[in-house]
């Protein structure tokens, strides 16, 4: 298990293909539901993504963008289009509107239509929040590579009506999202977080994988160095240089992220249960560490999270 695996594992499509729109200019689709992540891919044609905050981004054939919410955004035929916006959100795919194959727009006899496929992703929990925090408002992946193969499958599946279609579409959208994020993280100058490049280092990458695979283990820098086959001083310096913080500081922050999700997802778990799950034998030591990192003790955090979810 690597860092990216952990952060993206909670980001899953589930009935998320809420629009497959065939459009002829002028058009303006306004995505109003404020999804945490929205994937937009153009099978053919072109248009512009216009975020609520930030400059417009061109979207050409076989390109994909991911838009980070909760702000809304618009997909238009051209910047300054004269078209009145058509509101689109999660209810674009209700059964009475045609389910996942609902189409918005107009037929185009000239063969100049733009076909847009959209998937909205719910993102829950602090693990996935760390992924969102690493992303810009709009990120774009150029066509080509693995993403192109996924797009071919996705376009073919949208065009048919077959048993199990929703499951297939969900998994293809997940695949497309992972391909898009990896391509963006790998791009020079993308601003990817330090842990992304650090994963490829033969020493630090191994250390990160160990911390993520066994977060509750009684790690010391010496034990981690022994498992990675280097000296304690070499690991400490290399880890801090590449990740931006010492190994045990990184581990504490990661444990508190896991604990935050356990506190909200397992309502019957006691504070001691959560403490043990993330490597603390003493719940008081855990509570002190949690408050230091998260700004509230575990009980306060759980109450505040419950109030937000019930609002």
At residue 217, the pLDDT reads: 96
- The predicted model gives 212-228 an average pLDDT of 96
Q: Mean pLDDT of all residues in the chain?
A: 84
CATH no. of 249-310: 1.10.10
The tens digit of pLDDT for each residue in 93-129 reads 433 333 333 333 333 445 568 888 888 887 778 888 8
CATH no. of 3-186: 2.60.120.280
At residue 238, the pLDDT reads: 97
Using an 8 Å Cβ cutoff, are 170 and 12 in contact?
Answer: yes
Using an 8 Å Cβ cutoff, are 262 and 289 in contact?
Answer: no
At residue 17, the pLDDT reads: 55
The tens digit of pLDDT for each residue in 188-203 reads 888 889 999 999 999 9
Say whether pLDDT at 1 is over 70: no
Distance CA 252, CA 280 (A): 11
In the sheet with 37-44, reading across from the earlier edge strand, the strands are: 19-23, 114-121, 37-44, 64-68, 138-141
Longest dimension (CA), the chain: 70
Distance CA 80, CA 178 (A): 32
Most confident of 94-108, 119-133, 135-149, 250-264: 250-264
The tens digit of pLDDT for each residue in 62-93 reads 888 999 988 889 999 999 999 888 887 655 54
In this structure, the strands spanning 86-88 and 57-60 are unpaired
* Position 167 confidence tier, pLDDT thresholds 50, 70, 90: confident
- The predicted model gives 132-146 an average pLDDT of 81
Q: How many CB atoms lie within 10 A of CB 147?
A: 24
Distance CA 3, CA 152 (A): 29
Instruction: Give the residue among 15, 98, 13, 81 at the shortest CA–CA distance from 46.
Output: 81
- Alpha carbon distances (Å) from 102 to 16, 21, 34, 125: 13, 8, 20, 30
Could you tell me which residues are beta bridge partners of residue 73?
31, 51
The tens digit of pLDDT for each residue in 8-55 reads 877 776 665 555 667 788 888 888 877 888 888 888 889 999 998 889
């Amino acid at each position: 298990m690597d860092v990216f695996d952990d952060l993206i594992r909670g980001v899953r499509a589930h009935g998320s293909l809420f629009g497959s729109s065939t459009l002829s200019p002028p058009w303006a689709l306004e995505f109003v539901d404020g999804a945490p992540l929205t994937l937009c891919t153009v099978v053919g044609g072109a248009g512009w993504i216009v975020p609520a905050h930030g400059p417009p981004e061109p979207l050409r054939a076989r390109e994909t963008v991911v838009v980070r919410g909760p702000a809304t955004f618009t997909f238009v035929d051209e910047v300054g289009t004269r078209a009145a916006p058509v509101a689109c959100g999660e209810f674009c795919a209700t059964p009475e509107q045609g389910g996942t194959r609902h189409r918005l727009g107009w037929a185009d006899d000239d063969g100049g239509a733009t076909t847009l496929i959209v998937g909205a992703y719910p993102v829950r929990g602090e693990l996935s929040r760390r992924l969102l925090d690493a992303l810009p408002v709009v990120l774009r992946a150029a066509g080509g590579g693995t993403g192109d193969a996924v797009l071919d499958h996705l376009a073919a599946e949208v065009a048919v009506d077959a048993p199990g279609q929703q499951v297939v579409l969900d998994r293809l959208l997940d695949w497309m999202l992972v391909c898009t994020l990896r391509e963006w993280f790998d791009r020079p100058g993308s601003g990817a977080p330090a842990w992304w490049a650090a994963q490829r280092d033969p020493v630090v990458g191994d250390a990160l994988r160990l911390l993520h695979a066994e977060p509750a283990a009684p790690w010391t820098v010496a034990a981690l160095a022994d498992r990675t086959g280097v000296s304690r001083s070499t690991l400490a310096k290399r880890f801090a240089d590449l990740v931006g913080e010492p190994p045990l500081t990184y581990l504490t922050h990661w444990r508190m992220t896991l604990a935050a999700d356990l506190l909200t997802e397992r309502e019957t778990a006691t504070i001691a249960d959560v403490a043990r799950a993330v490597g603390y034998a003493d719940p008081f030591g855990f509570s002190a560490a949690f408050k230091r990192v998260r700004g509230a003790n575990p009980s306060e955090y759980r109450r505040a999270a419950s109030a937000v979810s019930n609002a």
